[in-house]
Amino acid sequence: MSDVAGINDGETYIDIEEGLKRVMNNKKLYVKLLGKFRDETRLDDLLADIAGGGMEDARVKAHTLKGVSANLSLKYLFLKVQELEAQIKEGRADPALVETVKTAFSRTLDDIEKVIVQYGNA
């Protein structure tokens, strides 16, 4: 695997090199943080808030997801959640963008698994 995971469809889902730099090249810590993201991050709550019209709660959840994605160098998810957060601030959420975020989240989780397998014993 290269230092950029998820490039098979033209998108960068995880920039491993950048993510490792953020944790001073501590592979064990990076894998731990990715595992915590995988195990604890739920997109369903954000989606439920959007569907139910709870835009302030959705904005807070989107903002949190955006920040965590940036900190872990989950590139494509960060970009799409950033777009979604901007829409939510305007009181809307384009269904096509919501679907894109769902796909980005799923593919990011897939790549997290790959990174954990590759670096898990670091």
Give the residue extent of every domain in the chain: 4-119
Structure confidence by residue, pLDDT tens digits, 38-47: 999 999 999 9
Using the predicted structure, report yes or no on whether residue 110 has a pLDDT greater than 70.
Answer: yes
Per the listing, tokens 């959640």 go with 81
Q: Which whole-number Å values give the CA distances from 12 to 7, 46, 80, 114, in the listed order?
A: 5, 23, 12, 14
Report pTM.
Answer: 0.90
Query: pLDDT-based confidence at 10, cuts 50/70/90?
Result: low
Q: Which CATH number fits domain 4-119: 1.20.120, 3.10.20, 1.10.10, 3.20.20?
A: 1.20.120
pLDDT value, residue 122: 56
Cβ distance 5 to 114 under 8 Å?
Answer: yes
Query: pLDDT-based confidence at 120, cuts 50/70/90?
Result: confident
Cβ distance 61 to 49 under 8 Å?
Answer: yes
